[in-house]
Structure 1
């Protein structure tokens, strides 16, 4: 009997070790048990999870940015779309997730869907490192950390290492394409809804352009986000315009504005048809970033292959 009691005590003492501890956003978090019911709160966070092979464990994805067909059909790569934007706390709780993964800080508002509130009721959470407060500019390093951490939590370490190797190979291939060639100036047009929204020096797009052998034409402005007017952009007169293609701001609508506006239509890039459309989720740090850098390098440096 004493052996049975001692055995039970040892088993109970070992239970906390079943929880996984992990570092994210400069803090230590816990996942109480292996994730079997995962919700992704942004499209690019879903893409990273899907690339790791977590699809069978994913029970919902929210806030699709550039896949209108999936939005209309209600499934994203087989995962149910649970909300056009972020779900309410009631909807999220009703799904009984054990892990919630966000791609932007806005995915975890300071209410019943905050990471602390979720953790208090046993729901694990993860925010992509590029969205953490006070993050540095090593965006590709952050993607590697996301893959390694989530790969360990999902028991997909080998897949994570393979994805990192693939991203690094794409970055090396992009560098080989632009080496020794001129560096074009690129203006990134995120949205035209309330002015010409773009990014300054501290945004990811500048890092992505650098990886493709180009530069952000507004890199001198030390801000992550900025809005410029048409006259300012005309003075800047970049070599190329990079257009985000999003559900709320389609690239086709941006092109229409650029060609019809009396000022913007005078831009060299518009007159020379040097416009590049890229889906929005490929312009934020994520699983597609290496491939996007390589695609941009090919399009910005034609004939370099």
Structure 2
């Protein structure tokens, strides 16, 4: 009889736990989390930005891997402690006692940290921004909408998520109106100069961002996310504009210095005529600010058209 009572109690507890779990879709799989999350970790800067915009507030207990350090102050990012300059160790991660870990890139849950399945086995839920999922489509703006909707659901902020989506769509519409009827400008995106001229091909988000702003990626015919371009190939394409990522690990000023001092690259018309645009690295990732970035980029490209 006592065993039956114990089993009944166990089943009742399991039923309560099952009903209290919040289920959500991410990267094409089903996940669950105890609702709502109270201790959240963001493992990349752009995932932290999204959580803050959704009102995570004091629930965001730590961030890691800040690419643009302009908002850093005394070891904090927008008031949130920075627990690691890059990805934290597993020991550091588990010591935070998080109930939700959000990553911006797939690398956040691979070599540097425990896998999402392992985290789940320890009672820690996880979310990877849809653009970081394996095999994701090229509908980057659709993925941003999905991130906002899902995380808005988990944070009990669906109205705020809808407002952010509406604002992004309004900015995209305004950007499209600015370049309507115009011939797209050719743009070379320089992500990093550390190990050659790193750029993106058709599958990179910057290609979609440039398209939304009224331009075309000079190397969009390469069916890849990332690629390295040699000087000779770049000179043959001779883009009208060069877009420079400004990151902690590869500042835009260093890229400008390379372009202007290199005997071959300095002959590019975009360099000779100073049609270079700097944008912070995290603004060149698919985030809730991507509509605003596309609009601002469309305005800057419209101004540059007058010098062509």
Q: Give TM class, smaller chain.
A: over 0.9
Query: What aligned pairs does 1:60-79 form with structure 2 within 5 A after superposition?
Result: 60-68=62-70, 70=72, 73-79=74-80
Change (3 A) 1:76 1:205: same
Deviations 1:208-244 (A, max 9, x none): 0000010000111111110011111111100000000
Whether contact under 8 Å (1:112, 1:118) holds in the other structure is: no
Whether contact under 8 Å (2:240, 2:275) holds in the other structure is: yes
Displacement, 1:15?
2.9
Query: What aligned pairs does 1:2-151 form with structure 2 within 5 A after superposition?
Result: 13-68=15-70, 70=72, 73-109=74-110, 113-151=114-152
Deviations 1:47-67 (A, max 9, x none): 000110112210000000112
**Matched residues in 2 for 1:142 and 1:103: separation?**
12
Per the alignment, residue 192 of structure 1 pairs with: 193
Displacement, 1:266?
0.5
Per the alignment, residue 208 of structure 2 pairs with: 207
Provide TM-score, normalisation by structure 1.
Answer: 0.94
Secondary structure (helix, strand or coil) at the match of 1:223 reads coil
Secondary structure (helix, strand or coil) at the match of 2:88 reads coil
Task: Count residues with an aligned counterpart.
Answer: 299
Per the alignment, residue 268 of structure 2 pairs with: 267
Secondary structure (helix, strand or coil) at the match of 1:301 reads helix
**Matched residues in 2 for 1:226 and 1:9: separation?**
54
Displacement, 1:73?
2.0
Deviations 1:161-199 (A, max 9, x none): 000000000000000100011210000000000000000
**Matched residues in 1 for 2:304 and 2:223: separation?**
33
Change (3 A) 1:31 1:9: closer
Displacement, 1:10?
6.0
Deviations 1:246-302 (A, max 9, x none): 000000000011111111110000011100000000101111111110011000012
Change (3 A) 1:61 1:190: same
**Matched residues in 1 for 2:211 and 2:256: separation?**
24
**Matched residues in 1 for 2:112 and 2:237: separation?**
42
Change (3 A) 1:265 1:139: same
Whether contact under 8 Å (1:183, 1:213) holds in the other structure is: yes
Per the alignment, residue 291 of structure 1 pairs with: 292
**Matched residues in 2 for 1:183 and 1:38: separation?**
41
Per the alignment, residue 239 of structure 2 pairs with: 238
Displacement, 1:8?
10
Whether contact under 8 Å (1:237, 1:267) holds in the other structure is: yes
Runs of 4+ aligned residues of structure 1 deviating over 4 Å after TM superposition are 5-12
**Matched residues in 1 for 2:210 and 2:187: separation?**
8
2:176 corresponds to 1:175: yes
Secondary structure (helix, strand or coil) at the match of 1:160 reads helix
Structure 2 regions of 5+ residues with no counterpart?
A: 1-5
